[in-house]
Structure 1
């Protein structure tokens, strides 16, 4: 596998995140307990350090998203979409490309994520090399989301679906991997304060499940406790 340097991070000198290292960290960091809105609430209320989410609940709707990492000259970026304002669900919010598992996906989450990405953004699914997955994320709206992480090699063309997608944009991975940019906020829902992650890039607010998945990406890719990335 190609071992080009994709991103450097670390106080004691550059540590290289190659495709191989990203794939290994995704495999090593996967937690089958999942995470989600309820798990974050339990954590904030002083519960387990990493409480799980009810990912085996058969009332949840399975879905998949692609977490697209784009290899740019200045380093990796994360591709995101902004939903159009007229949609019935989550209008105007920032999200990963993806959607619910359809019969044509034959139960395969990777197929679902790539199909939805192609439908929403026009990105040719063959331009994506999947590296692994993050933890399943259970939303308060009844979905269990499987995030697949993939590398996109430029050049590529996009043709966003104008009904669903108002904008496609990229955020530097370095910004996402800086913990100072992660904010734990809350809002009142049915008389109770509900916590959620939020990340603000320029004038764009990334929050909820999308921000939670990005925090998961940070936790997997950033070395902790002296665990460095091999040269």
Structure 2
């Protein structure tokens, strides 16, 4: 998808009905399906926010920024995610959290980002976070300055995301599950699953109307 075509439909994207859990659950691991709203509330999850940033790549194709997390002794070590993190006291709201984290992790200035809309919250059982995604766009590709939490930035195109062949099933072994098949996106030899996969699934559902 040409980036200009994407920006021409910004107002439409703001008004469209979200796919919600139905869209997210297309890419949800079985572990996540065990949690209904009552169980999530009972766990009193920590709040977080992430930024799904659209921008034009070198070919002027609409692209989305992801990050490869750094390796560390923790639940989400080395996983692919959107820039984001937990709410801090100084954050005015969840959108402010997403923008602050994007600046801290990859150096994106909030003045360069136009927020399109808030998406559906995603509950992350292993770390007990409730993450709120925000989609936004920048009129040119950002110059990244990554911090210690990020190994590298990853660029995927909207065209690759929208391709049905990008959805696969993979067998995973992590610190909290063994030998489990999970749905995922496979794009440019990158496997995107879990909460990020669920967020991308809802974004894909939203984009179908304008693609």
**TM-score band w.r.t. shorter chain:** 0.7 to 0.9
1:85 aligns with 2:76: no
Partner of 1:173: 158
Residue aligning to 2:114: 129
Regions of 4+ moved over 6 Å: 42-45, 188-193
| 1:196 Cα deviation from its structure 2 partner | 3.4
Q: Are the equivalent residues in 2 in contact too, given 1:98–1:117 (CA < 8 A)?
A: yes
After superposition, the C-alpha distances for 1:36-88 in whole angstroms (9 at most, x for unaligned) are 79x7538989xxxxx96455345211110001111344321010111112353
What's the CA shift for 1:222?
Answer: 0.9
Structure 1 residue aligned with 2:87: 101
Q: Is this contact kept in 1: 2:29–2:194, CA < 8 A?
A: no
Q: Which position in structure 2 is the counterpart of 1:203?
A: 189
Please say if 1:144 is aligned against 2:130: yes
**Alignment length, in residue pairs?**
204
In structure 2, the residue corresponding to 1:144 is in which secondary structure? strand
Q: 1:1-231, aligned counterparts within 5 Å?
A: 4-6=4-6, 18-25=9-16, 28-29=17-18, 31=20, 41=30, 53=37, 54-57=39-42, 59-72=44-57, 73-86=59-72, 88-106=74-92, 108-141=93-126, 142-161=128-147, 163-185=148-170, 187=172, 196-223=182-209, 229=210
Alignment partner of 2:72: what SS? coil
Structure 1 portions without partners, runs of 5+: 8-16, 46-50, 224-228
- Greater alpha carbon shift after TM alignment, 87-96 vs 133-142: 87-96
Unaligned runs of 5+ residues in structure 2 are none
Give the RMSD, CA atoms, in angstroms.
3.3
Tell whether the 8 Å contact from 1:6 to 1:71 is kept in structure 2 after alignment: no
